[in-house]
Amino acid sequence: MALLCGALGAAVALLATRQRWAEGTATVAGGAFPLTAKGSDVTGVPAALAIVGLAALVAVFAVRRAGRFLVSGLLALSGAGIAAAALASASDSSALDEQAAKASGDTSATVGALSHTGWPYVAAAGGVLLLLAGLLALRYGRLWPAMSGRYERGTARPRRAARPVDPERPEEIWKALDRGEDPTGA
């Protein structure tokens, strides 16, 4: 459930930041000029935190114990950050004001007939899904399986003593190589 919520939340947040969040018109010498601002123009925080959330979602399953707790917290915080940034930017007109200033050549120009879309709220919903995934990972993560430590260095397994290799039997030389032994050593 956490994996599904996290992946869906990050995808929704990334998708929403690529959509049009605000539109308006700038008055220039030749008349009215339509302007639009995508979510990434308004704020880059939700997209950046969605990528952090995706990385944390993958890392939750790769780490153990305290590392899982920390990564789960990062996942939850990235979701909360996406929701907060999207909601705070839902009525922001500064990106359109900058475009109006460029279009008119007047630095004090502002946009008129301003309207906002629902995409900031969709991004906030994606953030809530990531937050939910992080909270689920915090609560139940200690019960989830972790990646195998089979190939990690420093394990305390005793190694078998090397058997003497008969140089007349090539299959024993190959078996010694498969075990990681040096068949030429004495």
The whole-number pLDDT of residue 15 equals 95
Task: Decide if 47 contacts 76 (C-beta within 8 A).
Answer: no
Task: Decide if 21 contacts 117 (C-beta within 8 A).
Answer: yes
Domains of the chain, start order:
2-146 (1.20.140)
The whole-number pLDDT of residue 144 equals 72
SS3 (DSSP) at 183? coil
CA distances from 5 to 108, 124, 163, 174, 178 (A): 44, 14, 53, 49, 44
Residue written as token pair 């969605």: 50
Tell me the DSSP string of 14-45: HHHHTSEEEEEEEEETTEEEEEEEEHHHH-SH
Full 3-state SS string of 76-121: HHHHHHHHHHHHHCCCCCHHHHHHHHHHHCCCCCCCEEEEECCHHH
As given in the structure block, the two tokens for residue 45 are 């925080």
Angle between helices 2-17 and 119-140 (to 10 degrees): 160
Rg (CA), the chain: 28
pTM across the whole model? 0.71
Closest by Cα among 88, 79, 91 to 125: 79
Torsion angle, CA of 20/24/29/30, rounded to 10 degrees? 70
The whole-number pLDDT of residue 186 equals 54
The whole-number pLDDT of residue 185 equals 67
Per-residue pLDDT tens, the chain, 186 aa: give them.
888 999 999 999 999 999 988 888 877 766 777 888 888 888 889 999 999 999 999 888 888 888 889 999 999 999 999 999 999 988 887 887 787 777 777 766 677 777 888 999 999 999 999 999 999 999 987 777 766 666 566 655 666 665 666 667 778 888 878 887 777 765
Residue written as token pair 């078996």: 175
